[in-house]
Structure 1
Amino acid sequence: MSNWEKSLSDAVKQVPPSGIRKFFDVAAKMDDVITLGIGEPDFVTPWHIRESCVYGLEKGYTSYSTNKGMPLLRQEIAALYKRTYKINYDPAEEIIVTVGVSEAVDLALRAILNPGDEVLIPEPCYVSYKACVILAGGTPIPVPTSVEKEFRVTADDLEKYVTAKTKVLLIGYPNNPTGTILTTDELRGIAAFAQKHDLIVLSDEIYGDLTYGGLEHICFSSLPGMKDRTILFNGFSKAYAMTGWRLGYALANPVFIEAMNKIHQYTMLCAPVTAQVAGIEALQNGEGNMHKMINEYDRRRHFIYEGFCHMGLKTFEPKGAFYIFPNIESTGMTSEEFVEKLLEREHVAVIPGNAFGECGEGFIRCSYATSIDKIAGALNRIENFLKNI
């Protein structure tokens, strides 16, 4: 029998399987599992958005759109950023609609990286960042952050890892997995660092609308001097409960967008037109339902934070996204040991912190994008697990 693994590309061989999916493959085969793992809203997409898709199908909106996305959708995205962040993007030249934010990240990295180019990635971070860099031919350079600073990255942290080969800084705030946000001053410091070293910044802001406690999300490209050197990612999955629609977008200068569109033309061609129709409806009329969902996430955020504090697991209060990152070092277990035993004994699925980078060791990621009842049940089981060990 032929050894077909020898035929695989070196880049693919370097990329490990997702640290998130590993545990859910096991959980899927078990009964009575409460899941605090997958970062997916438990809400169904609001009816008026679904109805727009039904209406579009009835009207025969089933053809390709232009490669960059339907003009009206790009106009609505531009209007959103002008209205919310006071920053102007040309819908025709500076916006591309993609198959989720994941495609947008992949397109951007493939458009700008050459072999040997280094990408600074603060960790803990979303699991696909390093993989996408490797698959694009670049070299990911993890920049560890610490729980003492609530996993905030600073310009001083980044200075320790920048080299002559560094081309890109890839950040994601509000952060998955920690729920950390950055202040305006912290972001300004990172912007100054990027300008000093002439770096391109990729800013994943998919959780931007999910910012709590009266705090406002800061759009990175709106900072002085940062629009042209920033490729900004956002989409509809989290704030509008549209994960399965696979609809995202990127905002950038025309050179970057055109380069990304070249790849997009030959690979995806365009995002699904039915999803684009739904995206237009979401932007035009979805703000009310979005805020209702955000308010419910905020209620759950307080509940799960207080629950972990009550049982004695150290954690900081997350200010964004819908994740919390408790410290489990007091148990004497590694992150993976804790997760495996918790799943086996109490049928609660969470994610080991080291799936998001080495500095996530000693932590677990829990999502509160599920009902209060399920969160309460999971907390009770976790507390019981801690008592029995």
Structure 2
Amino acid sequence: AEDVVFVILSQPNPYHLARAQELKNNIQAQSKDQFVVHLSHLDFPHAGGWTIIPLIPQLSRLHGSNSSFIVFLEDGTRVRLGRLLDTLRTRRGKDEVFLGYALHDREPSIIHHFAFYEDPTSFKYPNLASGFAISTALLLRLNERLRRENMPKTDFNIDSVHEFSLFVWNDGAGVALSHDSSFCVADEGEACATHVRPFESCGDVAPRGSIYFAVKTCSKFHEDRVPIVKKTWAKHAAILRFFSDVEDDTVPTVTLGVANTEHGHCEKTFSILRYINREIENRNSDIRWIFIADDDTILSVSGLRALLGCYDSGDAVALGERYGYGMSAPGAGYDYITGGGGIAISRPLLSRLALNCSCPTASAPDDMYMGLCLKEIGTVITHSPLFHQARPMDYAEAYLRSYSAVSFHKHWMVDPIKVYNSWFAYADTVAAHTEL
């Protein structure tokens, strides 16, 4: 197990890069530079590198003959190296091994395309925040499969580690994940080879008046969804506008002359961005961030403010939960921020989006076309697992313990006020009282 290679799934944003470099330095300090530690976006640049599978050919070429295990980490993973080596020594590197903290769905989940619908607990996949390991023997077999079959044919990448686990499992012909208790969520001391670093504020939080909240709604939701937003997180937002297809003074709404569409909402979203850009560009405004939310987004304003404090609002930043589209075709795919969990855009980037983005049709998918436009203007999306496109029950419990949630999405078969009260109300209330 002394010939272990580490791959930190890194990002170019300065906040995430600093965290990844800190983790790399820590591993190398523990090993006295004995181990190779890769930062994925630097050593293996690939538009879909975060989905893990595209890294397999390069890792096989570099380390297929000189290593026993490849360990994948996030920038928030913490490693107790001696304990990890003890764990790996109990496994034979020449065997096909897949180790990690095992998660399973509690019920069929939309984020996993409702896989294993009859028994969602039957399929295990690793908690990425805790890290996971594959043996080189498994790496080489996966690479051979890729040579024969090319990339797995999928249009969308949503949960990279679940999709990677499906690829490894190969409809039962491959290897299933083995749960190992030394891969931990919380730090339980020397028993843990890895654990998750909780989110910590970077210092000053984003001021309340620095965030412009834009909520997309339409007339049919003015009486049910809008009141829930007002009863929950809107109370803690200094600047908030409801953008709708009709004027309604009871909300009140802003209308932009764009009719509502059942799907997509591309023209509506980009009209909102252009409106906000015009509203703030010619005045001495303290607004530094624009946050686009759906009317069924459930949000922690205090959590978002703490998170935004880790990013430079003077940079071109697009922040949210990253999905991918078309990664099966090399060079053709792109990332996008899935809109339901919310999209944070820095003010400099707002101007570029407002001036450079357009929609092929009014009903085109807005989040996807924003991702395509970001690719065209050369802005890399920054992923944060604190945003959630789905409901709390759509995620494994240990996954939710790994991150401080900022948002959830959907009112379907849940009480959204209860979700807000359970997850976000206390922190928002404390932050509001602290600032009085």
Pairwise TM-score range, normalised by the shorter structure: under 0.3
If you compute each CA radius of gyration, which structure gives the higher value, 1 or 2? 2
TM-score, with length taken from structure 2: 0.22
Task: Select the structure that is richer in helix.
Answer: 1
Structure 1 or 2: more strand by fraction? 2
State the structure with bigger RCO (CA 8 A, min sep 6), 1 or 2. Answer: 1
